[in-house]
């Protein structure tokens, strides 16, 4: 079985640092550094909330943005191409902004993003949902069963979980009605680790879901309602934390959102596995390099592939599943033509390197692909990239938003994952003429570097898009655009798989007013509340 492919186009980093000074008399807290008097720090452009938290295909809706420095904000880009225009509102405080949002009729349901800019800087990407459900706002007084908010599905409710609280919603259902519910939170950068539960008219639990494989910490459930009557939906945080950063969109009575496009590299042949191929003698012939798209149609399904290799050739096999919403975990076994195992690989550890193997002789090879727990059914899809395992590297950037100072410069940290390429890596800036990096080479064997990006003296004030590209040296040198998954994981620590269409995109902004050492501009939620002890009588925390 196959499914649609759209070409598109980390490591979570977070922490808190405390400065301590050691003296002979003990430990003394270090004082905060004094800001030089000649430093002018622009106010950050922050979006902390969007109401409603969705754009509607083929319609225009009005958004209210809450945050900081929004009075003069304009949208500099959106993905997909959605019109987001500011609405002049006399007397509006800088922490609010009204925008008219129009989505094309054919816009696919799923996650979108935009950036804001003001004369003082730009924001990081802000995530929202493209959704065709009508929106209701969550009540502020629905945190007891007897106060459950009455809703009429199909509907989406924009809500916010509070500390040690459960949000209750009630709807009327019919016997034998198929009913679905899902929470979209982590996929939009929320800190909420949601748990959802549905109870029947008699108060008994019909279904409960914490994490849904392929969706990270967002839950989803489907049930057949047993009788006519009122049903209750409960939404809470698994740890009973809450606050402004714990926002969610609860979708009721509609088909679940489709999986996102797989973040596969462009320019590579894509082929589909075909059934029957459950046995080694039924293996599909594949010419590599290629990306194989497949699906486990039922439990215990397996797919076999066949390809030719030469002695000394090294191949790399990279699996894609949960990054585009599939719950599947792959198990790979590489064999010779007779089925004798050469190497095995399991997708149980998401941080491990892809499977690689150097062949000892010419001839045919076989690859068996299974779901790790032998599961299958609708949605158990995968993609597998087969390529030469040469000398290459991966670059990952600490920032995807750069506000240049009075000297038209900004600092940037680069992490390097070396896969056989241990030599120097030359760096360049693409997308704008005259931009450069210093130093422009990552030295041999180095796995990190701090560089300065330089704009030309005649750079026009305002935002622009750039990419950082690394170039290896020597025969079969690799050229690779830098990823920004590190920057996105710092911005959205709870988001396991940031939107692939944002990867590698950097917005650099030349400020109209000369500024030295500007603060990094972020789109962030307020600091979440501290975890609380699970109240007596409530569900155990995750």
Give me the average pLDDT of each 10-residue run along the chain (542 residues).
34 30 33 36 72 95 92 87 89 86 92 90 91 93 95 96 97 96 94 96 95 84 96 97 96 84 79 95 95 95 96 94 87 95 88 88 96 92 92 92 86 92 94 95 95 92 93 84 93 87 91 51 44 39 38
Residue 284 located in a structural domain: yes
Residue 376 lies in a domain: yes
Q: Which pLDDT value is given to residue 40?
A: 35
The answer to the question of residue 213 being in a domain is: yes
pLDDT at 259: 67
Range of the domain at 147: 135-252
Looking at the structure of the chain, the number of domains it has is: 2
We report the CATH number of the domain holding residue 324 as: 2.60.120.380
Give pLDDT, residue 322: 83
pLDDT tens column, 400-425: 999 887 788 999 999 999 988 899 99
Q: 382 and 281: one domain?
A: yes
Among 224, 252, 280, which residue terminates a domain? Answer: 252
Instruction: Report CA-CA distances (Å) from 407 to 91, 360, 453, 456.
Output: 36, 56, 11, 10
- In a domain? residue 401: no
274 and 384 belong to one structural domain: yes
**CA distance linking residue 467 with residue 342, whole number of Å:** 39
Residue 26 forms part of a structural domain: no
**Residues 369, 281 share a domain:** yes
Q: How far apart are CA 490 and CA 247, in angstroms?
A: 18
Tell me, what's the pLDDT at 93? 80
309 and 381 share a domain?
yes
Strands (DSSP E) along 187-310, which ranges? Answer: 194-199, 205-209, 220-224, 229-237, 247-252, 270-272, 284-285, 290-295, 302-309
Picking from 507, 527, 466, the residue whose alpha carbon sits closest to that of residue 123 is 507
The SS3 of residue 364 is strand
Q: Is residue 515 part of a domain?
A: no
Same domain, 246 and 277: no
248 shares a domain with 151: yes
């Amino acid at each position: 079985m196959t499914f649609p492919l759209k070409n598109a186009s980390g490591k979570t980093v977070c922490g808190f640092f405390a400065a301590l000074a050691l003296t002979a008399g003990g430990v003394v807290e270090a004082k905060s550094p004094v800001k030089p008097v000649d430093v002018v720090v622009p106010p950050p452009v922050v979006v902390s909330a969007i109401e409603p938290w969705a754009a509607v295909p083929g319609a225009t809706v009005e958004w209210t943005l809450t945050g900081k420095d929004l009075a003069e904000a304009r949208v500099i880009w959106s993905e997909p191409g959605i019109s987001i225009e500011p609405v002049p509102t006399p007397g509006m405080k800088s922490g609010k902004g009204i925008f008219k949002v129009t989505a094309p009729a054919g816009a696919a349901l799923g996650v979108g993003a935009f950036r804001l800019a003001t004369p003082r800087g730009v924001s990081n990407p802000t995530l929202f949902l493209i959704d065709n459900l009508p929106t209701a706002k969550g009540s502020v007084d629905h945190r007891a069963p007897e106060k459950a908010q009455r809703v009429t599905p199909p509907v989406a409710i924009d809500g916010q979980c509070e500390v040690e609280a459960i949000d209750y919603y009630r709807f009327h259902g019919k016997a034998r009605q198929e009913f679905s519910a899902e929470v979209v939170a982590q996929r939009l950068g929320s800190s909420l680790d949601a748990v959802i539960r549905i109870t029947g008219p008699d108060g008994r639990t019909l279904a409960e879901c914490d994490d849904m494989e392929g969706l990270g910490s967002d839950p989803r459930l489907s049930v057949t309602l047993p009788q006519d009557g009122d049903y209750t939906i409960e939404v809470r945080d698994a740890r009973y934390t809450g606050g402004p950063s714990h926002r969610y969109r609860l979708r009721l009575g509609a088909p679940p959102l489709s999986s996102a496009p797989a973040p596969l590299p462009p320019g590579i042949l894509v082929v589909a596995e075909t059934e029957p191929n459950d046995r080694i003698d039924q293996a599909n012939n594949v010419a590599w390099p290629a990306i194989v798209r497949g699906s486990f149609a039922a439990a215990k399904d397996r797919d076999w592939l066949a390809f030719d290799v030469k002695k000394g050739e090294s191949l790399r096999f990279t699996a894609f599943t949960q990054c585009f919403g599939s719950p599947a975990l792959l198990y790979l076994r590489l064999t010779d033509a007779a089925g004798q195992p050469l190497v095995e690989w399991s997708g149980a550890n998401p941080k491990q390197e892809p499977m690689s193997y150097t062949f000892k002789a010419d001839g045919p090879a076989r690859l068996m692909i299974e779901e790790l727990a032998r599961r299958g059914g609708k949605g158990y899809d995968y993609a597998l990239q087969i390529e030469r395992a040469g000398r290459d590297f991966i670059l990952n950037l600490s920032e995807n938003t750069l506000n240049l100072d009075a000297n038209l410069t900004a600092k940037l940290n680069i992490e390097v994952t070396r896969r056989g390429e241990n030599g120097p890596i030359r760096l360049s800036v693409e997308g704008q003429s005259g931009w450069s990096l210093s130093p422009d080479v990552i030295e041999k064997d180095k796995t990190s570097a701090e560089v300065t990006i330089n704009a030309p003296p005649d750079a026009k004030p305002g935002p622009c898009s750039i990419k950082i590209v690394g170039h290896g040296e020597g025969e079969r040198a690799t050229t690779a655009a830098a990823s920004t998954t590190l920057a996105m994981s710092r911005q959205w620590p709870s988001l396991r798989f940031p939107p692939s269409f944002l990867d590698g995109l950097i917005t650099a902004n030349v400020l109209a007013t000369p500024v030295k050492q500007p603060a990094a501009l972020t789109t962030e939620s307020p600091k979440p509340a501290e975890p609380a002890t699970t109240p007596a009588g409530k569900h155990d925390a995750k």
